[in-house]
Amino acid sequence: MIKTINMAEKLGRFQGHWSPKIVAELNDSYVKFAKLKGEFVWHKHDDEDELFLVVRGNLMIRLRDGDLHVGEGELVVIPRGVEHLPVADEEVQVLLIEPKTTLNTGNLRNERTVEKLEWI
């Protein structure tokens, strides 16, 4: 059964930060939504490019050679191997697309790692 996904409705279904939820499969990737607030951890994904699309709010992605600002209605692809640190002064709501194998903390496993993602 193919269903239309309303971004605002899905984002209204959960509260926690830094814990992406899966909403769809797309080839070898998942489409996810997440709410971000505060500072994450520096990490990279060795073999996976990662798309961030900001649905609401303003996201800063720090890179080793500068900062990227991703505002509402903007997107960015962080290529594999590039260290990045997402930072959200206020809550940001994002759509993420990345391979099913992607761990949220990339090359690290720590207390921020979400081992098993939930579907909503």
Note the residues at the interface with a second copy (CB under 8 A).
2-8, 24-29, 31, 48-49, 51, 53, 55, 63, 68-71, 73-79, 82, 95, 97-99
Q: Give the whole-angstrom CA distance, residue 37 versus residue 111.
A: 16
Nearer to a second copy (CB atom), residue 66 or residue 110: 66
Nearer to a second copy (CB atom), residue 46 or residue 111: 46
Smallest distance, a second copy to C-beta of residue 7, A: 5
Smallest distance, a second copy to C-beta of residue 31, A: 7
Which residues neighbour 12 within 8 Å (Cβ) at sequence distance 6 or greater? none
Residues pairing with 29 in the sheet: 26, 99
Nearer to a second copy (CB atom), residue 101 or residue 107: 101
Q: Give the whole-angstrom CA distance, residue 86 versus residue 40.
A: 6
Nearer to a second copy (CB atom), residue 34 or residue 111: 34
Smallest distance, a second copy to C-beta of residue 26, A: 5
Smallest distance, a second copy to C-beta of residue 53, A: 8
Q: Give the whole-angstrom CA distance, residue 18 versus residue 26.
A: 21
